Amino acid sequence: MLYNDDYISINNLEISNHNSHLDSLGNVKLIPGFSGEYNTWGSGKNVRFGIKIVASSRSLTGFSMNNLKIHDIHPSPVLSQNIHKGYGIKFETQSDTVNSLFNIISDVEITNSDFSQTGHYGIWIKSIGLNNIDSVKNTDFQILDCNFENTGGSGFVPNKSKNILVRNCSLTHSDSRIDSRMWKRGSGLWTFDCKDVIVQHNYFMNAHGPQDSYGANIDYGNENVVFQ
CA 113, CA 134: separation in Å to the nearest integer? 31
Show the domain range for 78: 2-227
Q: What is the CATH number of the domain that holds 107?
A: 2.160.20
- Half-sphere exposure in the Cβ direction for 142 (13 Å, CA): 12
Full-model pTM: 0.96
- Give the strand pairing for 203-205 and 195-200: unpaired
The helix or strand, by DSSP H or E, that contains position 8, with its residue range, turns out to be strand 8-17
Instruction: Determine the Cα–Cα distance for residues 71 and 83; give it in Å rounded to an integer.
Output: 16
Q: What is the pLDDT along the chain (228 residues), one digit of tens a residue?
A: 999 999 999 999 999 999 999 999 998 888 777 666 666 667 899 999 999 999 999 999 999 999 999 999 999 999 999 999 999 999 999 999 999 999 999 999 999 999 999 999 999 999 999 988 999 999 999 999 999 999 999 999 999 999 999 999 999 999 999 999 999 999 999 999 999 999 999 999 999 889 889 999 999 999 999 999
Instruction: Please count the structural domains in the chain.
Output: 1
